[in-house]
A = this chain, B = another copy of it.
Amino acid sequence: LIPTIKDVARHAGVSTATVSRVFSRAGGVAGGTCERVQEAARKLGYTPNQTARSLITSKTCCIGILLPDLYGDFYSELIRGIDQAAQKEGYHLLLSSMHSEPAEMKAALKMMLGRVDGLVILSPHFKPHVLREWLPVRIPVVLINSPTMGIEFDTVNVDNFDAASKMVSHLIGLGHSRIAIIQGTTANFDAHERLRGYRSALFKAGIPTRAEYEFEGDFSEAAGYAAVTEMLKRFERPTAIFAANDAMAIGALKCLREQGLNVPGDIAVTGFDGIPMAAYASPSLTTVDVPISRLGAMAVERLVGLLKSKDHQKIRTQVPAELVIRESCGAHPYRPFDDSVIPNTSTQERS
């Protein structure tokens, strides 16, 4: 039903080897023969079977992407960066996301073996050594946002520590010394690094860290709201809040507004991530722009590098994130609304 190289060869009156040479652009085929082959192929609607091709060449030109069950902006931006880089490098994507359980992830991994030349994995759950155990074959792997305790894998991480430190230093520079943090999910690596950056900036400025200023959170808007509720009960309340992500910062803003407090007048607030809504909050939210799409792109670029050269040196790449100073930290005067920030999210493609 579906034409193979043999059919084309027969119709063109040549051998399969010649047809193969034509389609693999190997050269060494006479002009006339080449045309005859292409004509026959067109007539039959022949396209080389990539599976068979990659079986013999042992190259798939595919990279496997393993993601946990994330969603929203982070997910799409990451894939965008990955896809763009992959396309530029001539690779395709075998995607498997939605993995919350180890068994699912392991199964996905198995499915990919033999189908991909390399793997990009974002797995906040599973420790590198667990992954190593699941990867019997020696296949190139790049980890995104991984704790990278050991040096078993190449990694590409957002420099959460540095950016958090810079943000808190920025607040200190604005005159704040009673700075609270609303932390991300415990045991999350990003959350951990942002906390570390917060503490480091305070330390560098000679400000002692205070346990009662380190509020728990889980990256949700509700957590930000709750943390502020708790915070306002304190006698010596902070003059600034460093939220570990934008969602919590926005929850914090909401609570502060409800309590009649002025931001940044009474209390400054900063976020982390740079979600579109941050610019649209009122006051607009000072935050850290995490270059998610570059994160994905760099992971792919590193992987392709591994694929091309048999360079077996493990590299830890840190992607820098930059501060976006807006109104909520008090560095800028308050303006009711920021510029256009809503991405065109209709069913339309990007114009």
Contacts and interface: CB of A to CB of B under 8 A. Distances in A.
A72 B350 CA distance: 10
Nearest to A158: B347
Interface in A54-106: 54-55, 60-62, 65, 68-77, 79-80, 83-84, 87, 92-98, 100, 104
Interface string A189-225: 0110000000000000000000000000011111001
Given A72-B73, A346-B245, A351 B113 contact: no
A147 interface: no
A188 B62 contact: no
Number of this chain's copies in the assembly equals 2
Interface residues of A, number: 96
B76 A73 contact: yes
A188 B71 contact: no
A46 B136 contact: yes
A111 interface: yes
Contacts of A94: 62, 92-95
A259 interface: no
Contact of A79 (B2, B76, B138, B246): B76
A251 interface: yes
A275 interface: yes
A279 to B, nearest CB: 11
A110 interface: yes
Contacts of A347: 70, 74, 124, 145, 158, 188, 190, 273, 290, 292
7 contacts: A71-B80, A83-B97, A185-B348, A188-B347, A219-B351, A220-B340, A225-B340
